[in-house]
Structure 1
Amino acid sequence: MKTKLTSVLLCILLMMTHRDVFAQFTRDEAKVAMQCFNNEFYNQYGTYGNSFKAMYYANTNRHSRQDFWREIEAIETLIDAYQTNNDADFKNKIRYLYHGHSRWLWNHMAQQHLQRRHHLGSIDGHSFICNF
């Protein structure tokens, strides 16, 4: 189990950082890699208005939340997967992860970073992620 998870995470990391080398991966393979990551770390834990909140766990023990920057990188990977596959489940997870981080500082920093990184617009009335 741990070896499989490590392989999936390494594959995702390499795909995101060395796209030219991994151009031979299909969209379906990228989608499966993201689904495997979400199966191990994603946690939908509550409601936010008429929507939901979510977070990524720090490890497979599922005892604590990821720190700020790891969470941002995981969300960026999910955004990349959504932009590659246009998968409705990924789109919802992005929204729920955003709702799961309601602290002003996190939102402020995350909005600025992700907006610069992905040139995105707004989500639920906040200038953040366009078309989510």
Structure 2
Amino acid sequence: MTTALLGLGGLLLVMIGAGIGTVGRWALAEHGPRLLARRLPEVDLAVVRPWMTWTANVVSSFLLGIVVTRLGAATGGAGYVFLLLGTGLCGGLSVLSTAAMDVVDLVRRGTASIALGYLMLSVGVSMAFLWLGLVIGS
């Protein structure tokens, strides 16, 4: 019974963290282009939108690097914080499926070279920021 309650507690923490991360990603995708358009009115919002997903993935990778360094092997209460932040928050903030759809949309718009660059930058920069988070966290 105690193990089941601990498992449910961990599940609840992942759900809370994922909810926060998902709302953060939504807010960035929804309001980021508008904020950018206020400063740069000539910017096409359809072109900017994929870069909001990219930003969310890069920020999430950076945060995950710090969380893994600080709490990755933690047990007890710190293990639950890892579930909240690493699995939940970072998992909800980053999203591969939206990045994949961004690539498809860019290809459909006839910008295959931009789609390829976006894909390579998404993976490469996210991994670089994960590494940076690991370095800063240690």
Q: TM-score, normalised by structure 1?
A: 0.35
- The answer to which structure, 1 or 2, has the higher relative contact order (CA under 8 A, 6+ apart) is 2
Point out the structure with the larger strand share.
Answer: 1
Point out the structure with the larger helix share.
Answer: 2
Instruction: Please tell me whether Structure 1 or Structure 2 has the larger radius of gyration of its CA atoms.
Output: 2
